[in-house]
Structure 1
Amino acid sequence: MYNIAVIGCGYWGPNLIRNFSALSDCTVKMVCDLDETRLTHMKRLYPGIETTCESEHVTRNGDIDAVAVATPVRLHFEMARKSLLAGKHTFIEKPMASSVAECRELTALARQQQVTLMLGHTFIYSPPVRRIRELVDAGELGEIQYIRSRRLNLGLFQTDINVAWDLAPHDISIILYILGASPVSVNCQGKAHIHPEIEDVTNMTLNFNNGGLAIIQSSWLDPNKVREMTFVGSKKMLVYNDLEPIEKIKIYDKGVKIPPHYDTFAEFHYSYHYGDMYSPWLKQYEPLKEECQHFLDCIRTGEKPESCALEGLRVVQILEAASESLKKGGARVEIDPPDQMPEAFNSCFAETEGS
């Protein structure tokens, strides 16, 4: 049985508290937040938990085995560093930190302390994303030619990060998970309409070695909530709409081909293929609960989390490069390949014996 503490119970923290509380092999022992009103609310929902406004009360508590950090992004590094230095297994909500340098330091610290460090890339634990990866790995869609992702809504506006850092980590982590490859460069353009110098609309393009690309549109300034990804393959096409209640994935047997031989322009015709559309059955479960259970399993076994420190670092690498591209008016910015990272960061996890 593991004792869990959650630091931050604003927007996302309560979801972590709820899911960890529902698991049989852990107890949410403590919750930390600067807002006394939020703590009072959590205490009313979960009378057995301890509450505090001081993060040191969490990290110095010898009964706490693991800490989940769900604070604003600017505090991720500080809170996670304190947790790791105290020898606590640590779960950090996306993105991992505010810079690649901070991610590297946290990863090295986790290895030094021999504790599990895991990232909250919740969507890679969801049934639709896992099914898409299965389909791509099986060659059902053929070679992936491009991906388009749209994550749009009205708010929630942030004051410390732009919309790319807020929303795009979801799409980036999904793309890395499904393709099993990292982009070699990024272009990003955006505009700040509401808060000066904080972009609320961005358009990011990830370029891959094989010529493929992924286009990620993020917005806090849209009238409708949109959560949609399109995967265009050489054989078939797939649309993933996370707002659909049941048929979240739809596969289209559609495509276009150039005729192999023709003698004159008059003989040249594109060959369009229109086939069936079907929606595969998906197992129903809450991705966040699956993610929380996976964190506990990794603590117990010492296995590498699927959303490990290296994956968190890769996402922040892309976001950092995107920020540089934004400053350069959308210019292409190269991204260091994973094999150029220090050896310490190629191992995503610290080997542990469990608690």
Structure 2
Amino acid sequence: MVLIPDPLAQLKLLHTPPLLKVAVIGAGYWGPNLARNFKTSPAWELCAIVDMDVERAAKVATPLGDVPVFATLAELLAGTEVDAVAIATPARTHFAVAMAAIAAGRHVVVEKPLAATWEQGVAMLESAEASGVVLMADHTYCYTPAALKIRELIAEDALGEILFIDSVRINLGLIQPDVDVFWDLAPHDLSVIDFILPGGLRPEAVAAQGADPLGTGKACVGHLTFALPNNAMAHINVNWLSPTKIRQMVIGGSKRTLVWDDLNPQQRISVYDRGVNFEKASTSAAQRKAQAVSYRLGDTWSPALPEQEALALMVQEFADSIQQGRQSRTGGMAGLRVLSVLEAASRSLALGGEQSTVAGYDIQLEGTR
């Protein structure tokens, strides 16, 4: 019996890009999650785990098929060919590790926040652009099916003009040793706002209020507010001390209001056709006050969402951006926008809640929005 090759199958093989080789740097809390998703991704070959504690690295590597372990990035680069690295080390080390990888011509994805300071983030972006490599922020929540759906609904004007965004991210612990509650929890909310709004996260100033009732030396409870376009407002509540865990974002629009409850797997998104009907007028203040306000009470619906792990979608987006030679949907610029708000929040907190100017956006990278 003579087997005749299938021309379509052969053509598919010819156009299938080779696996990208990646190393995960950091075997602490987030590193094992990254390693597992890179291992199971059809686009990647997990080649190494890097951690100063090689025993901890080995505990991550062994269940994944005895992946090689290294103590430092220098040892990895000297002993293994990799296309990219995923950095899951403490935030204070992101800059040094990323810059070394970029200098070696490797693509880089960095756990939030992108860096410890705005200046470091700028240097990382400029170095990646000069080296022709992809720099991506691991804003995992942006790849949840819920966030992707919200982005889609806003893009198609299903909610109308955004009037407010109110986000609550509270739980009991874990009190971090090196950052306050803003730097620990708020990046998730800020990155999602940056992802879902067509213009991205671009406030001119922010105001932050925080409290440290336990005397830890850092804010454990915090509120962050800033203006959105068209006189809208965003508010983020973060808290390490709450006995209940809440992960909720409310996005109010002129047409509909959306509630994302991340802890409700049966109904993560609810869209309410309820709100205030108030026609804006460019007349005098007295005339505006005289305008009638009415309320609408319509239906509520919940869009069906696929059950997909956000980190797996992030890992695939990293591969796609490398293979297609483009900036990722949460590229370095997105990471820098979030970083600039965090820095402004820290300044505001030090000033007792006064508004603090957010650093400008004067870096133009090809393919970024």
TM-score with structure 2 setting the length:
0.87
Q: Secondary structure at the match of 1:30?
A: strand
Q: After superposition, where does 1:1-355 map in structure 2 within 5 Å?
A: 1-181=19-199, 182-194=202-214, 196-257=216-277, 270-338=293-361, 341=362, 345-347=363-365
Change (3 A) 1:269 1:297: closer
Q: In structure 2, how many angstroms separate the alpha carbons of the residues matched to 1:21 and 1:2?
A: 11
Identify which range, 176-185 or 213-222, moves more after superposition. Answer: 176-185
Q: In structure 1, how many angstroms separate the alpha carbons of the residues matched to 2:163 and 2:75?
A: 51
Q: In structure 2, how many angstroms separate the alpha carbons of the residues matched to 1:305 and 1:258?
A: 39
Q: Secondary structure at the match of 1:297?
A: helix
| 8 Å Cα contact 1:59-1:82 kept in structure 2 | no
Q: In structure 2, how many angstroms separate the alpha carbons of the residues matched to 1:58 and 1:171?
A: 34
Q: Secondary structure at the match of 2:343?
A: helix
Shift of 1:195: 5.2
Q: In structure 1, how many angstroms separate the alpha carbons of the residues matched to 2:74 and 2:60?
A: 19
Change (3 A) 1:297 1:244: same
Shift of 1:139: 1.7
User: Which of structure 1's runs of 4+ aligned residues deviate more than 6 A?
Assistant: none
Change (3 A) 1:195 1:50: farther
Q: Secondary structure at the match of 1:31?
A: strand
Amino acid at match of 2:222: T
Shift of 1:97: 0.2
Shift of 1:268: 8.6
| 8 Å Cα contact 1:60-1:86 kept in structure 2 | no
Q: In structure 1, how many angstroms separate the alpha carbons of the residues matched to 2:113 and 2:333?
A: 12
Q: Secondary structure at the match of 2:353?
A: coil
Q: Secondary structure at the match of 1:307?
A: coil
Amino acid at match of 1:174: V
Shift of 1:349: 6.5
Q: In structure 2, how many angstroms separate the alpha carbons of the residues matched to 1:85 and 1:255?
A: 52
| 8 Å Cα contact 1:32-1:53 kept in structure 2 | yes
| 8 Å Cα contact 2:36-2:64 kept in structure 1 | no
Q: Secondary structure at the match of 2:338?
A: helix
| 8 Å Cα contact 2:49-2:67 kept in structure 1 | yes
Q: In structure 2, how many angstroms separate the alpha carbons of the residues matched to 1:80 and 1:172?
A: 22
Q: Secondary structure at the match of 1:291?
A: helix
Q: Secondary structure at the match of 2:29?
A: coil
Gaps of 5+ in 1: 262-266, 351-355
Gaps of 5+ in 2: 1-18, 282-289
Change (3 A) 1:259 1:187: closer
Q: Secondary structure at the match of 2:315?
A: helix
Shift of 1:284: 2.1
Q: In structure 1, how many angstroms separate the alpha carbons of the residues matched to 2:264 and 2:83?
A: 38
Q: Secondary structure at the match of 1:183?
A: coil
Q: In structure 1, how many angstroms separate the alpha carbons of the residues matched to 2:179 and 2:166?
A: 23
CA deviations on 1:295-320 (whole Å, 9 max, x unpaired) are 11111121111111111111000000
Q: In structure 2, how many angstroms separate the alpha carbons of the residues matched to 1:19 and 1:331?
A: 42
Shift of 1:259: 8.8
| 8 Å Cα contact 1:116-1:349 kept in structure 2 | no
Q: Which residue of 2 aligns with 1:264?
A: none
Q: Secondary structure at the match of 1:210?
A: coil
Q: Which residue of 2 aligns with 1:353?
A: none
Shift of 1:74: 0.9
CA deviations on 1:196-237 (whole Å, 9 max, x unpaired) are 331111100021242111100111111111110001111211
Q: In structure 2, how many angstroms separate the alpha carbons of the residues matched to 1:259 and 1:349?
A: 37
| 8 Å Cα contact 1:185-1:208 kept in structure 2 | no
TM-score with structure 1 setting the length:
0.91
| 8 Å Cα contact 1:231-1:238 kept in structure 2 | yes
Q: Secondary structure at the match of 2:45?
A: strand
Give the percent of matched residue pairs that are identical in Structure 1 and Structure 2: 37
Q: In structure 1, how many angstroms separate the alpha carbons of the residues matched to 2:55 and 2:29?
A: 13
Amino acid at match of 2:112: K
RMSD (Å), alpha carbons: 2.2
Q: Secondary structure at the match of 1:280?
A: coil
Q: In structure 1, how many angstroms separate the alpha carbons of the residues matched to 2:228 and 2:252?
A: 15
Q: Secondary structure at the match of 2:304?
A: coil
| 8 Å Cα contact 2:155-2:198 kept in structure 1 | no
Amino acid at match of 1:257: N
